[in-house]
Amino acid sequence: MGDAVKYLDYVGDLFYGVHHDFSGNPHWQKKTAFVAFLYGSASLEQLKKKRIAILGTGEHSLWCTELLGRHGIEISAYCDNDPQMVGKLFFGKQVVSPFDLFETDTYHLIAAPDQEHFEPIADQFAHCGVKDYSFFFHADTMIDFKDEEIRTVVMAALNCLINNEYSAQIHKNAPMGITLRLLPGLEWWSQELYWLRDDLKAFGQGPKVLDIGPGFGFVSLIIKLMRPQSNIHWLSLAVEDSTRPSFIDPATKRYPITQKFGMIEDPAYRIDEQYDCIIMTEVFEHFGAAPDVTLKKIASMLGPNGRIYLSTPNWENENLYRSWREIPPFSGDRETYYKANKSRIDWMDLNLKHTYFYTEKELYEISALCGLEMERFVINDCNNFNCVLKRAKP
């Protein structure tokens, strides 16, 4: 799509079904939704003024047709790369070859394939000079997109981040950029999102927030959109300590933050500030040095009514140590530690590895050892621990 602005739009829930864990087993019989999206060179509102053709005549095309119809968008044509489908009728229209449509700029093409065909179709579009197109896809989610308050901030955050510039290493030149890398977060820390939505309302002008290991900044941006006056600090892994002003959206200089770099696991590294909210989504399992020492330091940065919002997986057992107590203390050599642990901590590394997966009992244990009280705790539908920690009463 070149330098064109990309749009992600929620087009509806497909259906609700039983969520399955990674072994294919029904997970607590709880309900999750298949939420459908359009991602491409035009927004949903813009599509209402265009002639639409769908590439594909399978199940996804059927869903796409149905959901777009709910938004008042009619489909003018269908095409398919399978020559056996060309000439047949689909929704009362004769299916044509996509090359018949590539030769005209009359249509906005919406590709509705299985996920494994996203990349070859994007290559096909690029080779044939097609620029006016979208992809239709769906994703599991543990949040309710019918909740307008939640949906508005999530979609705004997604649309900001997908238009940021990232290297090809980050998204492997995927046709949907980093969209499919951002959406899993809505499963991993789904309950945290609701807790934050409710808790943030208790702050006056806005909370002071420390996001440890912010990744693309998805959680931070949602907080900023919910509470624009929030004072957000990021802490990202680096050998050398530094602090500088930055933006979650650097291209437009929107959503200012304070960007800190350092090594939180080095006992010598200190942040002499106090925070209302400390965010640790999918970070704790990456710590490669004594986690109790690090968590105790993090706890010391909480303000009087501060909270730590922590999520960590409950779905793997391939630990590097028999017990979290065996995770060694910081080596004292930052360069060596960084090289040894970068692939476990650096969000830019596509090969993210984990040091240790904590049990529910261990999370309560280590929290208490660090002077923290488990205020809220759930295992969400994605089989992730979501919890809120606060300072324990003396």
Residues 356 and 221 in one domain: yes
Which of 128, 145, 162 is the endpoint of a domain? 145
> Of 73, 171, 51, 182, whose CA–CA distance to 122 is shortest?
171
* Domain total in the chain: 2
Question: Exposed (0-12), middle (13-18) or buried (19+): which is 164, by Cβ within 10 Å?
Answer: middle
Residues 251 and 319 in one domain: yes
Residue 1 lies in a domain: no
At residue 254, what is the residue type? R
Residues 119 and 247 in one domain: no
Residues 95 and 212 in one domain: no
Strands 75-79 and 51-55: parallel
- The pLDDT, as a whole number, for residue 20 is 47
All residue ranges of the chain with pLDDT < 70 are 1-3, 15-33, 168-173, 342-352
- The pLDDT, as a whole number, for residue 342 is 63
Residues 265 and 360 in one domain: yes
Residue 175 lies in a domain: no
Which of 96, 118, 145 is the endpoint of a domain? 145
Residues 325 and 240 in one domain: yes
**pLDDT tens for each residue of 227-236:** 999 999 999 9
Residue 154 lies in a domain: no
Residue 229 lies in a domain: yes
- Here the CATH number for the domain that contains residue 70 is 3.40.50.20
- Here the CATH number for the domain that contains residue 285 is 3.40.50.150
Residue 180 lies in a domain: no
Alpha-carbon gap, residue 93 to 19, rounded angstroms: 36
Residues 211 and 322 in one domain: yes
Question: Exposed (0-12), middle (13-18) or buried (19+): which is 233, by Cβ within 10 Å?
Answer: buried
Residues 192 and 139 in one domain: no
Residue 174 lies in a domain: no
- The pLDDT, as a whole number, for residue 171 is 67
Question: Exposed (0-12), middle (13-18) or buried (19+): which is 60, by Cβ within 10 Å?
Answer: buried
**pLDDT tens for each residue of 74-101:** 999 999 999 999 999 999 999 999 999 9
Domain holding 130, by residue range, is: 7-145
> Of 377, 202, 198, 210, whose CA–CA distance to 302 is shortest?
210
Which of 90, 123, 145 is the endpoint of a domain? 145
Residues 255 and 121 in one domain: no
Residues 54 and 123 in one domain: yes
Can you spell out the DSSP letters for 140-197? EESS-TT-HHHHHHHHHHHHHHTTS---HHHHTT-TTTTHHHHTTHHHHTHHHHHHHH
Residues 106 and 39 in one domain: yes
Residue 151 lies in a domain: no
Residues 214 and 82 in one domain: no
Q: What is the side-by-side strand order in the sheet with 133-141?
A: 7-20, 26-40, 133-141, 107-111, 51-55, 75-79
Q: Is this prediction's pTM over 0.85?
A: yes
- The pLDDT, as a whole number, for residue 339 is 79
Residue 247 lies in a domain: yes
